[in-house]
Chain A
Amino acid sequence: MFEFATLLAAESEEMPSVLAVPLDELIIGLIAFLIVFGGLAKFVLPKIKVTLDERANLIEGGLERAGKAEEEAAAVLAEYQKQLAGAREEASAIRTAAQADRTAIIEEARNEARSAAAVVTASAEAAMAAERAQAVAALTRQVGELALTLADKVVGEALANDARVAATVDSFIADLERAAAN
């Protein structure tokens, strides 16, 4: 930079200093800048800004869409897994219920068989009791008649129509019945 000092010294001779700032150069420089700035700011750069913004939006939109698709896929998978688990649960519940049903059905059948047997037994017993009663009644009557016949043969024909005889026979039969009942 020793040249610089020489230049500054040389300035006083005939040439203007290199550090001179003439007003016309300032104005021309300003005009040049304003043309560049005005042209770029008004006509050129807004276009590229719009394009760059558009591109950024496009890329961001694409990423967003991909993210959304991924989310959807995950949701579908979760739903599917949930359904699968539900189906499994349902199957096991059905199996358990079937098991219970089977036990219940067997139990019911057993009960039915048991009660049917009881009914048969009861009716048989009732029939037997009725027959026995019938047999007892018939036997009682026949015994009465036999006794009467026997008494008739012992006492004689005359006593046959006597009312006292009839009452005696009746009380005898009643005694027999009481005895039978006991």
Chain B
Amino acid sequence: MAFGVVASGGPECHLFSGCGFPAPGAEIFQFDAVLSFTIGGLAFNISKVTILLFLAVVVILGFFGYAFRKPKLVPRGAQNVGELGYLFIRDGIVRETIGKGGDKFIPFLFSFFFLVWILNFWGVVPGAQLPVTSIFAIPVTFAIIVYVTWVPLGIYKQGFVGFFKNIMFPPGVPKAMYILLTPIELISNFLVRPFTHAVRLFANMFAGHLLLATFSVAAFYLLSFSVIGILGSAASFSLAVLLTGFEAFIQALQAYIFTLLAAVYIGSALHAEH
């Protein structure tokens, strides 16, 4: 959305043209609704965010639906790539953190990884250029889904008392420590955990996007017939390109971290840490 931001500064807004630097701000995360409708008194706004969100849904279902349409014992083409993804989730995340008993959570975590990744990935796709996860409501939604999965799961698997006991009274600690430890564990597991789960993803994508936008705008703004302008513009442009590559890496990493944490939470619900 760099272009939109530049436009907000005006196409003639350059250094030494009597125009201040139009620093990108919160407005680059606000989008006009292209379609609005109301269901049961609740107004739904279909904007760029919503469109990219469902585009990601289509991409994921389309790709994996195609790759696994008729799986062969000897894979080729798209199936190879799809299997790579599947095995990454199965062996790299699920079996690593939960063990073989976590295999039934593969679709759940698989969905999270690829949905978060593609939503992040829109941030570096020309034309899209918005990591959908930098819209706070999206990571919050995902964190809530994970939260309402692992907490009831833990209660179901360990019993109501057992589940809370295992979390609030971690074994192998002197009794007196519980005065300090129990409130900390309670707060960190049930309040801080879902919050950081959402914020970690959101803040990374938000900051990354803002950084890219800032350097893109700077490259445009500094472009003027002066030494400082040309050097500054070139430096900003180079940084924007470099940071785009870096962002692509961060996007994959954050998707992985989000999924890994979800797997860890589910694992802790399945079997208490001894």
B33 to chain A, nearest CB (A): 10
Across the interface, which residues of A come within 8 angstroms of B65, CB to CB?
Answer: 39, 43-44
Determine whether B32 belongs to the interface, using a CB cutoff of 8 Å to chain A.
no
Across the interface, which residues of B come within 8 angstroms of A25, CB to CB?
Answer: 49, 135, 137-138, 141
* A18 in contact with B72 (CB, 8 Å): no
The one of B43, B145, B207 in contact with A33, judged by C-beta atoms closer than 8 angstroms, is: B145
| Alpha-carbon gap, A24 to B65, bound state (A) | 28
* B140 in contact with A33 (CB, 8 Å): no
A1 to chain B, nearest CB (A): 6
* B73 in contact with A55 (CB, 8 Å): yes
Closest residue of B by beta carbon distance from A23 = B42
Across the interface, which residues of A come within 8 angstroms of B22, CB to CB?
Answer: none
* B111 in contact with A37 (CB, 8 Å): yes
* B73 in contact with A18 (CB, 8 Å): no
Most chain B beta-carbon contacts within 10 A, residue among A19, A23, A40, A54: A40
The one of A17, A26, A45, A51 in contact with B107, judged by C-beta atoms closer than 8 angstroms, is: A45
Task: List B101-116 residues whose CB lies under 8 Å from chain A.
Answer: 106-108, 110-112, 114-115
Determine whether B156 belongs to the interface, using a CB cutoff of 8 Å to chain A.
no
User: Which segment of B3-11, B53-61, B228-236 sits at the interface?
Assistant: B53-61
Chain A residues touching B, range: 35 or more
Across the interface, which residues of B come within 8 angstroms of A44, CB to CB?
Answer: 61, 64-65, 68
The one of B73, B83, B86, B137 in contact with A29, judged by C-beta atoms closer than 8 angstroms, is: B137
Determine whether A125 belongs to the interface, using a CB cutoff of 8 Å to chain B.
no
* B27 in contact with A15 (CB, 8 Å): yes
Determine whether A120 belongs to the interface, using a CB cutoff of 8 Å to chain B.
no
Across the interface, which residues of A come within 8 angstroms of B170, CB to CB?
Answer: none
* A24 in contact with B45 (CB, 8 Å): yes
Across the interface, which residues of B come within 8 angstroms of A17, CB to CB?
Answer: 26
Supply 10 further A-B pairs (C-beta < 8 A) apart from A27-B42, A30-B141, A52-B86: A7-B25, A7-B26, A18-B136, A25-B135, A26-B140, A32-B115, A36-B60, A37-B107, A48-B71, A51-B72
